Structure 1
Amino acid sequence: MEANVDTKIETQDDMDEITSPFKNMWEILRRNKAAMIGLTIIILLILVALFGKYIMPYNPYQGELSQSLKPPSSEHILGTDEQGRDILSRIIDGTKISLRVGVTAVAIALSIGIVLGSLAGYYGGWVDMLIMRFMDIMLAFPSMLLAIAFMSALGRGIDNAIIAISIVTIPEYARIVRGSILSIKENEYVQAAKAIGNRDMAIIFKHIIPNVISPIIVRATLGVSTAILDTSALGFLGLGIQPPYAEWGSMLGAGRGYFYNAPYIVLFPGIAITITVLAFNLFGDGLRDALDPKLRK
C-alpha cells in the first residue's frame, strides 16, 4: 500500500511539473490586459470568418448602381461602395480572406524556415554558409518590393499572394531557428542523444526544435499581422487579390478615387485592417512575455 501511495504521489508530482509551466504562462498572459484584448479580437475575427455568411446583411458581391455611394444609414450600416454593394457585408466576407492568406502564408514560411534554419544551425560549415548567404540575399531586398516582384512573375490571385508572401518571410524564421539551435546544440542532452545513436533528423526535430519553439511561436503570431498587412498592400496596389473578392486592401484601392466624396469607402476597410493587425501584435507581445522564462515563477 505504501509503495502504491508513493507511486501515486510521484506521478502527481510529475504531472504538476509538466502542467506548472503552462499554468504560469497562462497566468502571465491573463494578467496582460492588452494581450487578452488582442486574443479576444482574434477569437471574434475567427468566428466572423467561420460564420460570417450567416450574419451578412446583404450579398457582398451583388449590388445595385442606384444604391451606389450611399452614406451609412439604418439600411446600410457602413454605407455602400461605388457599385452599390454593402460595405459591412464585404468587410465581413473579407475577414476570411485576410485570415486565410495570413495564417497560410505564415504556416508555409514557418515550415520551410524551420527546415532551412535547422540544417544551417546544426550542421554549420558549408551548409550553413550556403543557406544563410541565400537568406541574406533575400533580406537585402525590401520584403514588399520582393513580394511585388513575385506577384508580377506569378500573376494575381489568392494562391499566388500566399506564395509570394510566404517566400519573402522565410529568411526571418530561418535566422531565428538557426540562432536558437546554435545556442543549444552543444548542450548535454543533445550530446547524449548523439551518443546513443539517434539520427540527426531525430535529434533536430525531437530534441532541439521543441526546446526553441517559444521564439518561433511568438514570431509566427506577429508574422500573421505582417502577412495580412502585406496582403492589403498588394491589394491596394492592384497586384494582390483581385475583384470581385472582398479583400480589404483591394477595397481600399478601389475606393481611393471616391475619398473626397465618400470617405467611408476607404475608412471602414482601413479600420478593419488596423484592428486586425493591432490584435495580433498585442497578443504576440503578450505571448512573448508569457513565454519568457525570466518572467515565469
Structure 2
Amino acid sequence: METNLELKEDIHIKKNKQSKIKEILELLASNKAALVGLIIIVLLTLIAVLGKYIMPYNPYEGELSQSLQPPSSLHLFGTDEQGRDILSRIIDGTKISLRVGVTSVAIALSVGTVFGAIAGYYGGKIDMIIMRIMDIILAFPSLLLAIAFMSALGKGIDKAVIAISIVTIPEYARIVRGCVLSVKENEYVQSAKAIGNGDIAIIFKHILPNVMSPIIVRATLGISTAILETSALGFLGLGVQPPLAEWGSMLGSGRGYFYNAPHIILFPGFAITLTVLAFNLFGDGLRDALDPKQRK
C-alpha cells in the first residue's frame, strides 16, 4: 500500500515538473525579444564551433599591400592595418569571447553558490565572515578590480578568465544567500532534517534545486557582462593578447585608424554589441518565464 502511494506521489511530482517546464517554454516562445536573443545566441554558438570551416581567409595572415581596404566583394568587412580579413578575425574571435564569458561565469557561479549557500544556511559568524569578504570585493568597481588582478596575474586568456571570475563571485554569493535564507525554514527542509539528512545533502538536494530560477537568470545575464569586461581588458591591452583575434583587442589596435578606416573598429564593436544584446534579451525573457507574476 505504501509502495503504491509513493509511486503515485512520484508520478504526480514528475507530471508537475513536466507541466512547469512546458509552461516555461510556452512563456519563452511568446516573448519575441527572448526568441530573437536565443536565435542570435544559437547562431553565435554555431559560428564559434564551425568557424574554421566558414572563414573566408586565415585570420592571422595578411598582406601589407592590402591593409586598410574598405569593405568590398573580396573582403566583406574590409581589412585591418596588417591586411588581415576583418570578417575572418571576427568569426575567430567569437569562440574566444564566448569561451571567456561562459567559463568565467561557470567558475564564479560554482564558487559563489557554495559560499552563498554556506553563509545563508549556517548564519552567525560564518555568514558574517563570508559576506564581509564579499562586501569588500563589491566595494571596488568590477572592471577596476579586474585590471588590478590582471596586473598581478599577468596577461592572457586564462588570466582574464580568473580575474573576471573573482570579481563576479560576490554577485552570485549574495543571490544564493538570500534565496537560502528565504527557504531554509520551510517544511520540506525541516522534514529533511527530521529524517536525518546531513547539512550537505539538505543544501544541495533540497534547498538549491528549489531556488535555481534567479541564479540561472543572473548567470545568463552575467555572460554578457563577462564578455563586456573581456573586451574592455582586451581594449586596454591587458586581456587576450595578439595575435589572437579577440574583439576588444581588435578595437584597441584599430582605434588609431578611426578617421581614415572606421570599419576597423565598427565591425568588432557591432559584434560586441550584438552579443551582449542577445544575452540580455534572452536573460530578460528567461526571468519573465521563470517568474510568471512579474510577467503579468
Q: Structure 1-normalised TM-score?
A: 0.95
Question: Which residue of structure 1 aligns with residue 221 of structure 2?
Answer: 222
Measure how far apart 1:17 and its partner are.
2.0
Change (3 A) 1:22 1:295: farther
Superposition RMSD in Å: 1.8
Question: Which residue of structure 1 aligns with residue 121 of structure 2?
Answer: 122
1:155 matched to 2:154? The reply is yes
Change (3 A) 1:61 1:50: same
Query: Given that residues 21 and 296 in structure 1 are in contact (C-alpha distance below 8 angstroms), is that contact kept between their aligned partners in structure 2?
Result: no
SS of the equivalent of 1:136 reads helix
Structure 2: segments with no counterpart, 5+ residues: none
Question: Which residue of structure 1 aligns with residue 289 of structure 2?
Answer: 290
1:30-45 to 2 correspondences below 5 Å? 30-45=29-44
Q: Deviations over 1:228-286 (max 9, x none)?
A: 00000000011111100000000000000000010000000000000000000000000
1:207 matched to 2:206? The reply is yes
Measure how far apart 1:12 and its partner are.
6.5
Counterpart amino acid of residue 153 in structure 1: A
1:269 matched to 2:256? The reply is no
Measure how far apart 1:294 and its partner are.
2.5
Question: Which residue of structure 2 aligns with residue 23 of structure 1?
Answer: 22
Distance across 2 between alignment mates of 1:60 and 1:276: 20
1:79-118 to 2 correspondences below 5 Å? 79-118=78-117
Distance across 2 between alignment mates of 1:133 and 1:18: 37
Counterpart amino acid of residue 281 in structure 2: L
Measure how far apart 1:18 and its partner are.
2.3
Change (3 A) 1:8 1:145: closer
Distance across 2 between alignment mates of 1:195 and 1:296: 37
SS of the equivalent of 2:255 reads helix
SS of the equivalent of 1:260 reads coil
Measure how far apart 1:85 and its partner are.
0.2
Counterpart amino acid of residue 242 in structure 2: P
Query: Given that residues 81 and 87 in structure 1 are in contact (C-alpha distance below 8 angstroms), is that contact kept between their aligned partners in structure 2?
Result: yes
Distance across 1 between alignment mates of 2:142 and 2:150: 12
Q: Structure 2-normalised TM-score?
A: 0.96
Query: Given that residues 28 and 296 in structure 1 are in contact (C-alpha distance below 8 angstroms), is that contact kept between their aligned partners in structure 2?
Result: no
Distance across 1 between alignment mates of 2:139 and 2:167: 11
Measure how far apart 1:83 and its partner are.
0.2
Distance across 1 between alignment mates of 2:133 and 2:154: 24
Identity of paired residues, percent? 77
1:187 matched to 2:186? The reply is yes
Counterpart amino acid of residue 252 in structure 2: G
How many pairs does the alignment contain? 292
SS of the equivalent of 2:224 reads helix
Change (3 A) 1:10 1:220: closer
Structure 1: segments with no counterpart, 5+ residues: 1-5
Counterpart amino acid of residue 253 in structure 2: A
Measure how far apart 1:37 and its partner are.
0.1
Change (3 A) 1:51 1:291: same
1:221-240 to 2 correspondences below 5 Å? 221-240=220-239
Counterpart amino acid of residue 165 in structure 1: I
Distance across 1 between alignment mates of 2:92 and 2:79: 15
Distance across 2 between alignment mates of 1:7 and 1:119: 32
Question: Which residue of structure 1 aligns with residue 278 of structure 2?
Answer: 279
